[in-house]
């Protein structure tokens, strides 16, 4: 197999859009499609840790994220009433609104020369050995040297090329999320714990003016809530948290659409992450629980490393082997730490100190080169 010239990236989420940008910048003819007709303007926030910012900096995208988001260097723990219990320095990261991050990544990919198309999916993908033939949902057909499956945790391409055994499974928690104006005390990653330690509310700045709050709920199975009741249900769940940050933010929720709920569905595909000319990237390869705030960061790092490997290696198989070799151990370490933290939070008697220690230890690990 010769060097890659034409690449199709399926999915323009955090991983796919970063890959489209990095691949186009590396000189590859890059086409990126997403099934959603438009980029969402809704969505909560996301934390980009120090290692993620370093990866974005390597490809020249850190500054626009810093301009839009808010830099922080502290991890704070409070009780449910909002009294500060502990404050630890962390390596610098940023919080940013998800729609802003998506805008930065997608417009940068377009500007770098990637062809970005929305409202489009791959109806069929056939690896012919010397190329991958793709039929699109609008009837067009094209051939590529490589297909990057960046279609998220519920990836159809993973199912087709890696089998059903890597489907996600439920990790026993779901997140409730909503945006709010940022009070001054939310100047870093903040956790508020209930007196029994069993319930946690988090707050993260997303700009000078805004922040987002999240609440983690344990359950044995996926829970199903009526969409038109989410505002009432989130208030019920947070009633025991009297911290002004939490109650003032809840008071501004006037419609159920302001509240997002998502189960933690996880998978970690064993190495290697390619079959022939189809390679997994981001959540399609490794969907973690969000405790390490690193799923998006790992997807960004994947994209940077994949582009480097395709540029450095002389054939596609060599590049794809090098890609998994550089990514698997690092991603697994973070994925395992996230899941461990999620399990700790579901224990009958949680131990916040032990969780904080694992969190900080894994932050340190992430400081190592990717
Ligand atoms: C509650 C919560 C909080 C989180 N907080 C953080 C955080 O603070 N920091 C962090 O780094 N990570 C965080 N994450 C994880 C992060 O959101 C994900 O890891 C990240 O979005 C993965 O990016 P991705 O591009 O791989 O997948 P996605 O973002 O899921 O993107 C997949 C894209 O593929 C498209 N697609 C799907 N199917 C098809 C198809 N058949 N054809 C074409 N397109 C398709 C979708 O429309 C989507 O745009 C959090 C996750 C959750 C649930």
Q: Quote the CA–CA distance of 115 and 137 in Å, as a whole number.
A: 17
C-alpha closest to that of 55 among 256, 313, 330:
330
The CATH number that domain 6-48+98-169+266-347 falls under is 3.50.50.60
Ligand 1: centre distance to CA 335 (Å): 15
Reduce the DSSP state of residue 195 to 3 states and report it: coil
Ligand 1: centre distance to CA 103 (Å): 14
CB atoms within 10 A of CB 186: 25
Report whether residue 295 contacts ligand 1, using a CB cutoff of 6 Å.
Answer: yes
**pLDDT given at position 351:** 84
Report whether residue 11 contacts ligand 1, using a CB cutoff of 6 Å.
Answer: yes
Mutate to test the pocket of ligand 1, among 8, 16, 119 (most ligand atoms within 8 A of CB): 16
Report whether residue 293 contacts ligand 1, using a CB cutoff of 6 Å.
Answer: yes
Report whether residue 283 contacts ligand 1, using a CB cutoff of 6 Å.
Answer: yes
Report whether residue 263 contacts ligand 1, using a CB cutoff of 6 Å.
Answer: no
**pLDDT given at position 314:** 86
**pLDDT given at position 349:** 83
Report whether residue 150 contacts ligand 1, using a CB cutoff of 6 Å.
Answer: yes
Report whether residue 34 contacts ligand 1, using a CB cutoff of 6 Å.
Answer: yes
329: its two tokens: 């151990």
Kindly give the number of the ligand 1 atom that is closest to the alpha carbon of 15. 25
Backbone phi and psi for residue 148, each to the nearest 5 degrees, phi listed first: -100, 115
Report whether residue 156 contacts ligand 1, using a CB cutoff of 6 Å.
Answer: yes
CB atoms within 10 A of CB 47: 24
Report whether residue 10 contacts ligand 1, using a CB cutoff of 6 Å.
Answer: yes
**pLDDT given at position 2:** 56
- What are the per-10-residue average pLDDT scores of the chain (370 residues)? 83 98 97 93 90 97 97 94 92 95 98 98 97 98 98 98 97 96 96 85 96 95 93 95 96 95 97 98 98 96 98 94 98 98 89 87 91
**pLDDT given at position 198:** 79
- Identify whether the C-beta of residue 320 lies closer than 8 Å to the C-beta of residue 274: yes
**pLDDT given at position 353:** 85
Is the preceding omega at residue 370 within 30 degrees of 0, hence cis?
no
**pLDDT given at position 322:** 97
Ligand 1: centre distance to CA 346 (Å): 24
Report whether residue 15 contacts ligand 1, using a CB cutoff of 6 Å.
Answer: yes
């Amino acid at each position: 197999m010769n060097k890659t010239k034409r690449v199709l990236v399926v999915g323009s989420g955090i991983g796919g859009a970063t890959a489209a940008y990095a691949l186009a910048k590396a000189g590859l003819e890059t086409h990126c499609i997403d099934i959603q007709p438009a980029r969402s303007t809704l969505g909560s926030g996301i934390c980009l840790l120090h290692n993620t910012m370093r990866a974005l900096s390597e490809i020249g995208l850190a500054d626009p994220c810093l301009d839009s988001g808010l830099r922080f260097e502290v991890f704070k723990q409070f009780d449910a009433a909002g009294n500060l219990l502990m404050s630890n320095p962390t390596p610098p990261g940023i919080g940013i609104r998800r729609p802003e991050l998506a805008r930065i990544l997608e417009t940068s990919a377009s500007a770098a020369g990637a062809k970005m198309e929305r409202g489009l999916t791959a109806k069929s993908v056939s690896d012919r050995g010397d190329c991958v033939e793709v039929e699109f949902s609008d009837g067009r057909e094209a051939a590529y040297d490589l297909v990057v499956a960046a279609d998220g945790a519920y990836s159809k391409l993973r199912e087709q090329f890696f089998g059903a055994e890597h489907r996600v499974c439920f990790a026993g928690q779901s997140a409730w999320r909503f945006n709010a104006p940022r009070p001054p005390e939310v100047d870093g990653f903040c956790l508020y714990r209930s007196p029994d330690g069993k319930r946690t509310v988090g707050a993260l700045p997303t700009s000078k003016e805004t922040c987002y709050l999240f609440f983690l709920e344990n359950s044995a199975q996926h829970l199903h809530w009526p969409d038109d009741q989410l505002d009432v249900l989130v208030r019920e769940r947070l009633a025991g948290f009297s911290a002004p940050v939490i109650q003032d933010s809840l008071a501004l929720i006037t419609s159920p659409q302001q509240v997002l709920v998502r189960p933690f569905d996880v998978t970690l595909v064993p190495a290697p992450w390619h079959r022939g000319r189809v390679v997994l990237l981001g959540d399609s390869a490794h969907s973690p629980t969000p405790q390490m705030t690193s799923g998006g960061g790992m997807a960004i790092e994947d994209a940077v490393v994949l582009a480097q490997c395709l540029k450095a290696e002389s054939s596609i198989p060599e590049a794809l082997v090098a890609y998994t070799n550089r990514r698997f151990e690092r991603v697994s370490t973070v994925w395992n730490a996230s899941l461990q933290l999620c399990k700790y939070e579901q224990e009958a008697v949680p131990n916040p100190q032990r969780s904080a220690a694992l969190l900080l230890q894994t932050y340190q690990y992430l400081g190592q080169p990717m």
